[in-house]
Structure 1
């Protein structure tokens, strides 16, 4: 993907598909994605892995959007393993693409994105 607008539009489309869930860490992450038009957001803060698995067991597609900091990486690895072990497909493509835009925290995605490209992290 060449810019953040394209990233948001793709995520928006995928999040609206039946059975899709976008997993984020906290309240601010969820609020930011809602402002961007993303649907079916599941916030994991304060929940045990077992409870998360139980909540997501009927999902057909889980998009992992935990933050790209040390804590987010730990949560991502553990939750990805647990979900995949139970046969729940996990997509981390959007998370990987977010790295290319230099954004470490979901809550930091700009609402007015303009053209944030992979090589130039400034907004126009």
Structure 2
């Protein structure tokens, strides 16, 4: 199980994700279940499922807005993240990296985050943020 400090890092990263959305950043995820998971964690804003649109349409849709890349932590997700980093001008991968550093030993996908956090809350008794 993750430490209390890692739990704090995870919750802070999710809070930063919420703030980025409120400020107008677009979140890019792989698919529908990832989008639902983020919404269940209180992330409100534009979340784009990369599986539904071609890269050229994505770039046009983003325009000059910042994109937060939040793909899964498996091989496929890493490749997608690398590809997106090459084609998107204004990007943020720091949140993905912080979340990945805490959870990659335990879960492999964004869609698993809500249940993972719920399990941790049961261990520590409450949400810290």
TM bucket normalised to smaller: 0.7 to 0.9
Q: CA deviation at 1:7?
A: 2.2
Q: Which residue of 2 aligns with 1:80?
A: 85
SS at structure 2 position matched to 1:67: coil
Which stretch shifts more, 28-37 or 101-110?
101-110
8 Å CA contact retained: 1:66, 1:95:
yes
Aligned CA-pair RMSD? 2.2
8 Å CA contact retained: 1:35, 1:111:
no
Q: Which residue of 2 aligns with 1:110?
A: 114
Q: Which residue of 2 aligns with 1:51?
A: 57
Structure with more of its chain in helix, by fraction: 2
Aligned positions, number: 113
SS at structure 2 position matched to 1:110: helix
* TM-score (normalised: structure 1): 0.79
* TM-score (normalised: structure 2): 0.76
